[in-house]
A and B are shown apart, each in its own frame.
Chain A
Amino acid sequence: MLNHCFLCRNEDLKEMLESSKESLKLEAMKRIVGLIAKGKNASELFPAVVKNVASKNIELKKLVYVYLVRYAEEQQDLALLSISTFQRALKDPNQLIRASALRVLSSIRVPIIVPIMMLSIKEASTDLSPYVRKTAAHAIQKLYSLDPDQKEHLIEVIEKLLKDKSTLVAGSVVMAFEEVCPDRIDLIHKNYRKLCNLLVDVEEWGQVVIIHMLTRYARTQFVSPWREDAVFDENSEKAFYDSEEERRVDQSKPYIMDPDHRLLLRNTKPLLQSRNTAVVMAVSQLYWHLAPKHELSIITKSLVRLLRSHREVQYIVLQNIATMSIQRKGMFEPFMKSFYVRSTDATHIKTLKLEILTNLANEANISTILREFQTYVKSQDKAFAAATIQAIGRCATNISEVTDTCLNGLVLLLSNRDETVVAESVVVIKKLLQTQPSQHSDIIKHMAKLFDNITVSMARASILWLMGEYCEHVPKIAPDVLRKMAKTFTSEEDIVKLQTVNLAAKLYLTNSKQTKLLTQYILNLGKYDQSYDIRDRTRFIRQLIVPNEKSGALSKYARRILMAPKPAPVLQSAFKDRDRFQLGTLSHSLNSQANGYLELSDWPAVAPDQSVRIVEVVEPAGAPVFGKSKPGKSDEKFYSDSEEEEEEEEEGSSSEDSSSSSSSEESESESESEENSDDSNKSSSSQSDSEKKKKTLKNKKLQQQKPDSKDRYWSHAVTKFFLMHIVLSFSNQFVANCRCSLLCLYVFLVCQFDTVSWHVRVSLQASSPVFVPETSRELLHRMTGKGLSAQYRFTRQPCIYGNSMVSLQLTLSNSSDQALENIHISEKSSTGRDIHRFNASGGLRPQASVTVSMGVDFNDSTQAANFQLCTKEDEFSVSIQPAVGELLLPITMSEADFTKEQTILSLCSEIVVFPLN
């Protein structure tokens, strides 16, 4: 009957789907989705549904997608009918449709379409829409789980997508990376800095994945920052000073954090303020695993904040805090009160808080904690009360000052009305007594008195064991307890019986006169017990202690075997070894390795090559601090438009001097030449290395090469870019005419082959600058220069040393207390830049300073000039990076000339005129 109804309904739905009315179809699909949601089987309708895959109605289409993804695996042949629709949709102009087509296509788990999927992923990974590229990244994982053989091809796609600069893609592609090829960290090198810098803007889920991946990456690439910190005791200041002294003596090479390592820590720190708890936890674990120990404290507050969140979040966070608090008490001690238990907490939350409180206990706070524990012991939640007693036991063993207090407190609990509390107390007391039994015979006596009232077998067994172990301390009571046990032996639990046998044996050995008969009686009872364990034990004990002719040499040692001193148990946290798992992971939470867990490697002893991470020229070579701000930014604000533009485009070298260009080119940092070498159809000519804009000084001699043929050039210009020069010049007149306040800078982009106008311009007159900034910038700090400090400033005057040089003023001052002699610039200039050195300025007295001038040929690039500043004893590497504006020479030009130049420019694709002020 039911079945019949179901069939009927299916027939109805089929009819509706085949009707011509859109609304009926939609209604049918909605009902079908309802069936799927309830877990009912709707696979019979597949043929009817799949027909609607190409529907115009977008909601209908989406519901069909939902259906398809759910059942395609079961109906592979029919599912193939829909593929062509998706292939068409992949070419749709609407990015949402392209993306959802790819999503569904890749979700259909039909092995036969693997090649189609592969092709679509490859195509989508180069799509213009980042949303589609994101979908492609997701599709990578789907295809990989469908057909792992595609791994190699997929890695290629991942490699390509990792280079993507969109924040939308970053999280998804890293996820794919983690799934497909987590061991290929070489793919990360080049993208490391980009990922670090993008991180803040990535969506929150992506952040979690990227942070976890970068944690793993960092552990393979950087050396441990904890090396010296090992001597830093977290709260002993003395050790701090001591080690300072020691270090000065024996550590020749102090630890310097890799700038990339620092970058990661710095860029993740703001994410501690995220509203997403998973992100906060991810950053916390990153700091835990990567940060120097003294920086760790910043994560504490954020973690404690998470405790205000939902119950489930609390649970995970408390687990992690528990692990952390074992190693580093100091981190959480100020927040101890946040871990106080409330009666409304769930049991697993209570136990975790208890765990943390126990970990945090020390001599100073133990009395507060114990007072708090007293309240917990009285809790109505008896399981929790029992856990508290365990915790008291741990505190008592860890902090010897309070052992006696705890013991007395526990003894008081023995008269508690609740069995579980009493039982737990007995067990804990047993463990505590093992540490120092002789002083506590009265406690043992007290327990013997309570013995009759205790019914929990574990507690009874514990008391019996205590009696046996310390029977010599209570010689009168122990035999009496045994006598009582003999009476009730048959009705006891197994665990109690075993301990009774144990007690009997020990008493037999120490006090055989009183207990011989009792022991034999008990052994006889045990012999016929139902449990084989007890029968075995009885037989064994009898052979061991009762001497007879058959017994071997063993019985001689019976006393030593049974009464051997036993080591006291060590009460320790259940979270002791959890730190073998990366914090914040599922494996850590379960304390067992989950499927797909990626081990965190140990720090390498020697850091692998750092240069693998260098991508482009972001920073000048030899710069001491990573990520330093662009020099001169603040002062030169008023050129900054052009300057930033150049820098963003990673301007290649722009040497015009063909004679010197090849040599200087080679010595440029490698990434730059990499940039340039992409250019295919360029020869070794001076202009060759740029498909980008070039800039040149006004007064430069140009050696133009005649193009082979104009046509070739034109076609080249059309297909790629114009070969251009940027001519930058100042024009005072123009300023006046335009009524711009200070300087006007205009940039000419002139076609290279338009050589005519050059000669005109070369003849232009250089004029004096209107504005020369007085502020100078630092070249060498006195701390790094061992007393010698140097500052530089661009004078904006024509350089007297050479036409292509830029003149600089250098102020050297000596802030040390000795005279510095023979200050000069080293002969070997590292970048091959032509530098006119200042005259070696003899000696410099303490606190004196001197101003010298020098000239540097920057080759018209904003590349830094690096050189060595030397004194008699030392050499210091310094670098000067000019702003674009400093490379220019102001010229005077009539308005007519200016307009003429401007018209020439209109031939080019780009004109930039900056009225800057």
Chain B
Amino acid sequence: MIHSLFLVNASGDIFLEKHWKSVVSRSVCDYFFEALERATEPENVPPVIPTPHHFLINVLRHRIYFVAVIQSEVPPLFVIEFLHRVVDTFQDYFGVCSEAAIKDNVVVVYELLEEMLDNGFPLATESNILKELIKPPTILRTVVNTITGSTNVGEQLPTGQLSVVPWRRTGVKYTNNEAYFDVVEEIDAIIDKSGSTITAEIQGVIDACVKLTGMPDLTLSFMNPRLLDDVSFHPCVRFKRWEAERILSFIPPDGNFRLLSYHVSSQNLVAIPVYVKHNISFREGSSQGRFELTLGPKQTMGKAVESVLVSSQLPRGVLNANLSPSQGTYTFDPVTKLLSWDVGKINPQKLPSLKGSVSLQTGASKPDENPTINIQFKIQQLAISGLKVNRLDMYGEKYKPFKGIKYMTKAGKFQVRT
């Protein structure tokens, strides 16, 4: 299925290649570079590029293009999903997935890729199986290995590979048994000029960090499971149990994993936690434009709105911006025309604002569209949909684990049109 993989950095150099079948010359990437040149933005490169003899399927993550070479029919999502899984694995192993990290760990990367695909077909993609086959590099281990000559490679078939719970290895032991669950919700919204909501929806995930000894069997129940409209599970969740009782029952993987992603049913009205007052105007003939922004909290259920970051792509005609924020700092990049304002926390008594003027290219006509404003924010200890975890129980093991649940609301793709 997947013939070869090329990693291409932002400046268009191939810095790693791996072949699973016979070698494909790297000149095949020329077609990719052509497409890269044609694209105005790095994101605009089409994910599937046909060439006379091959197909190139690429994903862009962390400013690295992962280009897979395909020779015959295969579901494109299969390849895309796999490439993303590769990136996740690298991130898991090296902390970051950057060109430097990959180059530093090229042997581990090669060993990983070797295990993940056999003849182009995925073999082991489950992180906990891979970690038994190839141990992640740590400083301590590197030192030990150089002294003792022991290796990073496991000699036994990982137990998970054959068991009915491939995501969990046997013989897990902790002195402190703990299970943490983060309920993170994101609001996607488009707000129009006048401040009314065009579309808003809530997507959420439950990320877990479970460090429990043995083979615990957990159940997690919600106060209001009806809120969850559409869900997707980690393979460990028993689907039948969810269908029948709306309870999450599972034997958890060891460590960090995403238990559940959900979508809150669209019937519920979405609370919009911030509002934006804006006055952006460019006058015909004048080389100056006015720019005013004020942010304020709206339906926040009494919680503080934090880590607010406003960004906006100003029109091409804008030369510079001369603004003064009432709090936080702002930057304007005259090349990309990207304005970003790091606001911080919104104080309801003293609303943050950004006022001033922007200078336009002389002679250029007035831009016909005002820029859209993207907002990021965080609200701690609140799941905006109102979702609440009822209880978490553990069966199958004797000890008492420490349990913790955290809620958070974030802005997803939150846009204000002006």
Contact = CB atoms under 8 A, between A and B. Distances in A.
Interface of A: 22-23, 26, 30, 33-34, 36-39, 57-60, 62-63, 65-66, 70, 73, 94-96, 99, 103, 106-107, 109, 129-131, 134-135, 138-139, 141-142, 145, 168, 172, 175, 200-201, 203-205, 208, 212, 270, 273-278, 280-282, 301-302, 304-305, 308, 310-313, 315-317, 334, 337-338, 340, 342-344, 346-348, 372, 375, 378-380, 416-418, 584-587, 589-590, 592, 594-598
A302 B57 CA distance: 23
Interface stretch (B212-220, B230-238, B294-302, B353-361): B230-238
A342 B59 contact: no
A-B complex: 9 closest residue pairs judged by Cβ atoms:
A596-B72, A59-B151, A337-B199, A378-B369, A312-B47, A96-B157, A205-B122, A278-B77, A59-B153
B19 A70 contact: yes
B230 A275 contact: no
A141 B413 contact: no
Nearest to A313: B80
A139 B121 CA distance: 11
Contacts of A62: 111, 114, 153
B77 A340 contact: no
Given A38-B15, A203-B166, A343 B313 contact: yes
A58 B151 contact: yes
Contacts of B190: 340, 342
Contacts of B57: 312
29 contacts: A22-B149, A30-B107, A33-B107, A34-B106, A37-B17, A37-B110, A39-B14, A39-B26, A58-B151, A62-B153, A63-B107, A66-B111, A99-B157, A134-B123, A141-B119, A203-B122, A270-B239, A304-B230, A304-B263, A310-B80, A312-B47, A344-B374, A344-B413, A347-B41, A372-B198, A418-B368, A584-B76, A585-B73, A586-B76
A380 B231 contact: no
Interface string B109-125: 11100100011011101
A282 B266 CA distance: 25
B152 A96 contact: no
A66 B113 CA distance: 11
A308 to B, nearest CB: 6
A492 B251 CA distance: 73
A70 B23 contact: yes
Contact of B44 (A96, A316, A347): A347
Given A131-B157, A380-B316, A594-B73, A204 B111 contact: no
A305 B415 contact: no
Nearest to B413: A342
Contacts of B146: 23
Contact of B155 (A94, A334, A596): A94
A842 B368 CA distance: 91
Contact of A59 (B15, B41, B152, B166): B152
B12 interface: no
B77 A348 contact: no
Contact of B22 (A38, A73, A305): A73
A348 B45 CA distance: 8
A347 B58 CA distance: 16
A205 B235 CA distance: 13
Given A312-B47, A342-B415, A417-B365, A594 B72 contact: yes
B232 A305 contact: yes
Contact of B55 (A63, A168, A594): A594
Contacts of A175: 1, 121
Interface in B65-103: 70-78, 80-82, 84
Contact of B41 (A94, A129, A138, A346): A346
Nearest to A23: B149
Contacts of A39: 14, 17, 26
Interface in B344-394: 365, 367-369, 371-372, 374
B153 A589 contact: no
Nearest to A22: B149
A703 B47 CA distance: 75
Contacts of B258: 275
B60 interface: yes
Given A337-B198, A340-B190, A594-B73, 11 more contacts: A34-B107, A58-B153, A135-B118, A172-B121, A203-B122, A275-B235, A281-B75, A302-B232, A312-B84, A342-B415, A594-B72
B74 A375 contact: no
A329 B159 CA distance: 48
A597 B74 CA distance: 8
A273 B26 contact: no
Contacts of A273: 231-233, 239
A487 B418 CA distance: 45
Nearest to B231: A273
A62 B1 CA distance: 23
B261 interface: yes
Contact of A94 (B44, B71, B75, B156): B156
Q: What band does the interface of chain B fall in when counting residues whose beta carbon is under 8 Å from A? A: 35 or more
A205 B78 contact: yes
B50 to A, nearest CB: 5
A204 B19 CA distance: 23
A134 to B, nearest CB: 8
A241 B123 CA distance: 52
A34 B107 CA distance: 7
B21 A311 contact: no
B368 A416 contact: yes
Nearest to A205: B122
A316 B26 CA distance: 26
A146 to B, nearest CB: 10
Contacts of A142: 21, 119
A418 to B, nearest CB: 7
B288 interface: no
Contacts of A375: 192, 417
A144 to B, nearest CB: 10
Contacts of B199: 337-338, 340
Contacts of A73: 22-23
B244 interface: no
A626 to B, nearest CB: 19
Contact of B18 (A37, A57, A344): A37
Given A57-B151, A58-B155, A308 B203 contact: yes
Contacts of B415: 342-344
Contacts of B231: 273
B164 interface: yes
Contacts of B149: 22-23, 26, 57
A37 B125 contact: no
Contacts of B371: 380
B195 interface: no
B267 to A, nearest CB: 11
Contacts of A584: 75-77
Contacts of A311: 43, 47, 59-60
Contact of A585 (B75, B157, B234): B75
* Residue among B55, B76, B77, B110 with the highest chain A CB neighbour number at 10 A: B77
Nearest to B157: A96
B377 to A, nearest CB: 16
A241 B192 CA distance: 43
Contacts of A59: 111, 151-153
B143 interface: no
Nearest to B242: A273
A125 to B, nearest CB: 16
B335 interface: no
B229 interface: yes
A348 B413 CA distance: 18
Contacts of B243: 270
A346 B44 contact: yes
Contacts of A37: 16-18, 106, 109-110
A823 B84 CA distance: 67
Nearest to B166: A203
B48 A590 contact: yes
Nearest to B122: A205
Nearest to B149: A23
